[in-house]
Amino acid sequence: MAGTAATGRTASRAFQPFRLWLLIPSWLMIGVFLLVPVLLMLLFSFLTKEFRGGVIWEFTLAAYDQFIFDRGLFGDDPPKIEWTYIVIFVRSIVQAGLATILCLVIGFPAAFFIASRPLGTRSIWLFLVTVPYWVNLLVRTVSMKFLIRDNGPLNELLLGLGIISKPLSIVNTDFAVQLGLFYSYLPFMVLPIYASVERYDFTLSEAAADLYAGRWTILRRILLPVVSPGIIAGSILVFIPSLGAFLAPDLLGGAKNFMIGSLIEEQFKGNAGNWPFGAAASMILLSLVLLALLIYSRQQTRT
Amino acid sequence: MSFDEKTVAIDVQDVIKKFGSIVALQRASLKIFDNEFFTILGPSGCGKTTLLRLIAGFEDVTDGAIFLYDEEIERLPPHKRPVNTVFQQYALFPHMTVAENVAFGIRMKGGGRQEIEATVLRMLDLVKMGDLADRRPNQLSGGQQQRAALARAIAPEPKVLLLDEPLSALDLKLRQAMRLELKQLQQETGITFVFVTHDQEEALAMSDRIAVMSDGIIQQVGGAREIYDNPVNRFVANFIGETNLLDVIVEQVGSDGCVCTIGTGAPLHCSAAKEISAGQKACALIRPERLRLASATLSNNGIVGSVRQAMYLGTDIKYSVLLDDGVSLSVRSQNGSGQEEEFAIGDRVGIELDKGVARLLAN
């Protein structure tokens, strides 16, 4: 331990003169491809919309105002709270939350299973988890729709087995969206949990059993708390992209199950869009996510 | 010794443990008595940890029975056995404080809040960790973790405490100090300790009785002195302490021992052994500290050789003497006893020993 730390320090000292130079590529990437777009969005959200898409360089809070208030068709009625977009936001949070729970319920046992395989076969299982990702997300989501449609293979199987008497309507429901999100992001849950379960020392479970704890108590009081960093990392990695997802809600949820991602996507598509409004919605989403992460990290440092 | 009168804490009866085709434990039988400091000693891979894990319940016996104070336990899951374990790497719960770790067992047993708090305080006091109660395991030194693990295992008042090489992760000085403390703790609590180690010095220093194991077989069970002075076979003799083993031929068997000849043809008087008859080949065991060196000219019993190596070890001087038949003997003479003459490499020396010092082992 001490040896590697010392080596690390020596190595970093050797690189000392070039340190700034070595950092330039990552700074460039983060700056050009992360910070600039976000700042651009922030800027656009305060500009006036052009009717054929694009913006007029005039400062206004109209986009944010439109998100929260309803001022009638001509904009001169007394302001009322506009619920449409807030409802879409809340629905998105609920959908993403449920998808995250679904991923957790399926992903945790899967990760545990992989971590408890013999060392040599673990990489095969991990590889299998990532195989679906070789196929484009759009194709995967469409295939999901094909699988669960009214006269699709899933319904035919269940009908054939006599489990149901008429086909289940899954497509165009909230559940279909959760299923799509679950399928899209499952590995983001499995991999971090695998990483922490793999490091989990199973003598801790033995020690707990030795101290009169039954199986469920060991799971709840020892295993879950010890691997919780992996669970939280996985949940964040699933929840955040789910929140902004638009493919699964569009393709599987139909028009009734609009989510933030679709809302934002609409604003930048074709001629009907409203760039400042889309940018404002993005900024609100970003702020909510950052706030949630901030609260979480505060809590982590406190414990 | 009248073992029959003592209460038996753990009774291992004909226990066999196989992992697939590998036999880890070959029909082991063992009685551990109430309030005893019992050590299972052996090299790594001898099955000692397996035996301990079978008692704790982490492994299932392939065959045989284990009794804990007359209750058959070998089919019970670990959380239903009133024994606790101190693990080799301590296995403290990293997300809990020392106090929460110590409280865990009592809480699981269903103790009341006040009882838990009182016991935790008492236990931390017992292992001198009172002021570290709110630390997390990763904020503790190795020795402190060891103490926390001990307190955690003793807190639920187990009928038997199992210790799986608990000192092996500590450095030498700390290890020696902990030996005394462990022994003291055992006497204070009156709990039966079953201690697993590969360190024979540790075993000799602490134990009331020792079981020596190798290759999944319990070779010998007895007190420290008994095992050191009277090993039943070559393995035990070699494993416990330093040993000279000489191939001899038995010449004559008498009532007070037998006369043998060693390789050089010199006679050697050995203590009596069972089932030995004249003309048989056997093996004589002599501890190096029981041998003395004298100038070859003064020596009169005929075991003669030349000093090949002399090592000054502080308390002792250790000689390696090459006998004329090519066998080498190790001799330890105490430094500062005043009577000992010092010898140099190449000196011709005679080796002297008292009657009854050499013991015969069946080959």
| The predicted structure's pLDDT at residue B337 | 66
The arithmetic mean of pLDDT across residues B36-62, rounded, is 95
Is A224 an 8 Å CB contact of chain B?
A: no
**Cβ-defined contact of A204 to B57 (cutoff 8 Å):** no
Strands in A53-145 per DSSP E:
55-59, 69-70, 80-81
**Cβ-defined contact of B94 to A226 (cutoff 8 Å):** yes
Q: Is residue B242 a contact partner of residue B200, using CB atoms and an 8 Å limit?
A: no
d(CA B327, CA A6): 49
Instruction: Identify which of B100, B61, B101 has the alpha carbon closest to the alpha carbon of residue B81.
Output: B61
Torsion of CA A246, A247, A248, A252, to 10 degrees: 110
Instruction: Identify which of B160, B161, B178 has the alpha carbon closest to the alpha carbon of residue B169.
Output: B178
d(CA B43, CA A47): 78
d(CA B104, CA B110): 10
| The predicted structure's pLDDT at residue B298 | 65
Single-letter amino acid code for the residue at A88? I
DSSP label of A161: T
Is A211 an 8 Å CB contact of chain B?
A: yes
Three-class secondary structure of residue A273 per DSSP: coil
Distances (CA, A) of A198 to A1, A114, A118, A218, A253: 20, 9, 11, 17, 36
CB atoms within 10 A of CB B34: 15
**Given a cut of 90, is residue B52 above it in pLDDT?**
yes
Where is average pLDDT lowest: A299-303, B185-189, B192-196, B328-332? Answer: A299-303
Is A147 an 8 Å CB contact of chain B?
A: no
Is A231 an 8 Å CB contact of chain B?
A: no
Q: Is residue B235 a contact partner of residue B214, using CB atoms and an 8 Å limit?
A: yes
| The predicted structure's pLDDT at residue A8 | 53
Instruction: Identify which of B133, B142, B147 has the alpha carbon closest to the alpha carbon of residue B96.
Output: B133
Instruction: Identify which of A237, A238, A257 has the alpha carbon closest to the alpha carbon of residue A247.
Output: A257
Is A1 an 8 Å CB contact of chain B?
A: no
- Encoded tokens for B9: 């804490």
- Encoded tokens for B25: 């434990």
Q: Is residue B234 a contact partner of residue B219, using CB atoms and an 8 Å limit?
A: no
Chain B partners within 8 Å of A212 (Cβ): 79-80, 105, 108-109, 156
Chain A partners within 8 Å of B84 (Cβ): 210-211
**Given a cut of 90, is residue B299 above it in pLDDT?**
no
d(CA B200, CA B214): 13
Instruction: Identify which of A248, A238, A139 has the alpha carbon closest to the alpha carbon of residue A190.
Output: A238
Instruction: Identify which of A98, A145, A151 has the alpha carbon closest to the alpha carbon of residue A254.
Output: A145
**Cβ-defined contact of B105 to A211 (cutoff 8 Å):** yes
| The predicted structure's pLDDT at residue B84 | 96
**Given a cut of 70, is residue B248 above it in pLDDT?**
yes
List the single best residue of B104, B120, B159, B165 to mutate versus A (max A Cβ within 10 A): B104
Q: Which of B57, B84, B89 sits opposite A211 (nearest CB)?
A: B84
- Encoded tokens for B129: 């960790």
What's the gap in Å between the CA of A294 and the closest CA on chain B? 22
* CB within 8 Å of B150: residues ≥ 6 apart: B86, B127, B166, B182, B185
**Cβ-defined contact of B79 to A207 (cutoff 8 Å):** no
d(CA B70, CA B289): 44
Chain A partners within 8 Å of B153 (Cβ): 210-211
Residue with token string 């006036």: A48
**Cβ-defined contact of A206 to B78 (cutoff 8 Å):** yes
DSSP label of B7: P
Cα angle at A252 between A247 and A253, to 5 degrees?
100
Is A204 an 8 Å CB contact of chain B?
A: yes
**Cβ-defined contact of A208 to B104 (cutoff 8 Å):** yes
CA pseudo-torsion sign B110, B111, B113, B118: negative
CB atoms within 10 A of CB A59: 9
Instruction: Report the percent of chain B where pLDDT is more than 90.
Output: 59
**Cβ-defined contact of A209 to B58 (cutoff 8 Å):** yes
Q: Is residue B253 a contact partner of residue B278, using CB atoms and an 8 Å limit?
A: yes
**Cβ-defined contact of B93 to A226 (cutoff 8 Å):** yes
Q: Which of B57, B87, B109 sits opposite A207 (nearest CB)?
A: B87
- Encoded tokens for A238: 């699933």
Distances (CA, A) of B98 to B101, B102, B168: 5, 6, 21
- Encoded tokens for A296: 């979480």
Q: Is residue B88 a contact partner of residue B166, using CB atoms and an 8 Å limit?
A: yes
Where is average pLDDT lowest: A290-294, B288-292, B334-338? Answer: B334-338
Question: Please, what is the average pLDDT of chain B?
Answer: 89
d(CA B159, CA B167): 22
Q: Which of B85, B94, B109 sits opposite A210 (nearest CB)?
A: B85
ipTM: 0.83
> Which residue on chain A is closest to B83 by alpha carbon?
A210
Residue with token string 């989403």: A285
Provide the CB-side half-sphere exposure for A214 (13 A, CA).
3
What's the gap in Å between the CA of A109 and the closest CA on chain B? 22
**Cβ-defined contact of B79 to A209 (cutoff 8 Å):** yes
**Given a cut of 50, is residue B363 above it in pLDDT?**
yes
Identify the band that residue B183 occupies on the pLDDT scale cut at 50, 70 and 90.
Answer: very high
**Cβ-defined contact of A211 to B58 (cutoff 8 Å):** no
DSSP label of A78: P
Q: Is residue B100 a contact partner of residue B108, using CB atoms and an 8 Å limit?
A: no
d(CA B188, CA B182): 10
Q: Is residue B79 a contact partner of residue A212, using CB atoms and an 8 Å limit?
A: yes
d(CA A7, CA A50): 59
Under an 8 Å CB criterion, which residues of B touch A? 56-58, 77-80, 83-85, 87, 89, 91-95, 104-105, 108-109, 152-153, 156
Question: Which segments of chain A have a pLDDT < 70?
Answer: 1-12, 255, 302-303
d(CA B24, CA B217): 9
**Cβ-defined contact of A208 to B56 (cutoff 8 Å):** no
Chain-centroid distance, C-alpha B172: 17
